[in-house]
Amino acid sequence: MKLSHFQFDLPKELLAEYPAENRDESRLMVIDRKKQTIEHKMFKDVIDYFDDGDVLILNNTKVFPARLYGNKEKTGARIEVFLLRELNSEQRLWDVLVDPARKIRIGNKLYFGDDDSLVAEVIDNTTSRGRTLRFLYDGSYEEFRNKLTELGETPIPKYISRDVTPEDAERYQTIYAKEEGAVAAPTAGLHFSKHLLKKLEIKGIKFAEVTLHVGLGTFNPVEVEDLSKHKMDSEELKITQEACDIVNDAKVKKKRICAVGTTSMRAVESSVSSQSTLNPFDGWTNKFVFPPHDFSIATCMITNFHTPKSTLLMMVSAFCGHDLMKRAYAEAIKEGYKFYSYGDAMLII
């Protein structure tokens, strides 16, 4: 498979600027790989496809307010700083992206907040837009993190052209988010309401939680025609023994195992034993799933509608089958499904 196989024209009006009014009332396209059929449902209908003992794999990462705006010393130029990952908590070192990057050089200082209560010094260049910052703050580590939360805003995707609203802080977060560390939401999970999760639980569906802290690498454009030459950025991953036991027990009993989102799928595909069972994991993964790929754990997946040429679309193609995926996407465009983070969902069984 080549990069050009994943190009398609997406009308701009299908990019979701806002979430559905109720989480579980997004639209749901159901794709049956065996029957090669496509059905149109509401997301809350997802419960009809699962039975007692089936498992949903949920990514419980929590998005933190990663986008800050500061001013450059002397010139006062407004600079956007996007926090990517903490490198050293004692020295308060962070990997960040800056915009506009051409103005930001090693040694520059940036000031944040109306009272300049937070200062950062640029200590390294990592990529054309990447920098390493050392934050200077009088206070404990906990106070420093609270200050970042206070000054930061919800990192909704750049394609959303409106300003961030207070609602985004809640809606750009799954209701089961626990472990802070993501700079983008695992968006397939945004469709689950408390009510729907409760109904699934009452029906006997089990939940296996994994933690994959979504970084911007997930969304980096693929720039090589030969997909095998694309390198994914590493993202932090934790899979507990408890999650493995839930999944492996369901495998033995031949129950349906559903990865909720490409991040959950990448998480479990990163830690498969030679017997095709799930292993515990605590570290970093740069797993890139593209066709052809033999999936070892999940038998179905829930996902949103993705951008042309994205690694997310490539994973969906590998799982769904490329021709069926293309047919489904053509149908989604024809039927006016909403795409991307706040868009509609797809269940592939």
- Tell me, what's the pLDDT at 125? 86
Going by the DSSP 8-state scheme, the letter that residue 241 receives in this structure is H
- Tell me, what's the pLDDT at 126? 83
pTM: 0.92
Q: What CA–CA distance (Å, rounded) separates 186 from 182?
A: 9
Q: What CA–CA distance (Å, rounded) separates 336 from 346?
A: 14
Give mean pLDDT in consecutive 10-residue pieces for the chain, a chain of 349 residues. Answer: 94 94 97 98 98 98 94 89 91 92 90 89 87 92 92 89 90 96 94 98 98 82 90 92 98 98 97 97 95 96 95 96 97 97 97
- Tell me, what's the pLDDT at 140? 92
- Tell me, what's the pLDDT at 76? 86
Q: Is 101 helix (H, G, I), strand (E, B) or coil?
A: helix
Q: How far is CA 162 from CA 159, 165, 190, in A?
A: 9, 9, 20
Angle in degrees, CA 193, 217, 207, rounded to 5: 30
Q: What CA–CA distance (Å, rounded) separates 43 from 188?
A: 11
Two structure tokens written together for 241: 């023994």
Number of other residues whose CB lies within 10 A of the CB of residue 81: 23
- Tell me, what's the pLDDT at 176? 98
Angle in degrees, CA 95, 96, 99, rounded to 5: 160
Q: What CA–CA distance (Å, rounded) separates 66 from 64?
A: 6
Comparing CA positions, the residue from 132, 212, 130 lying closest to residue 174 is: 212
- Tell me, what's the pLDDT at 343? 96
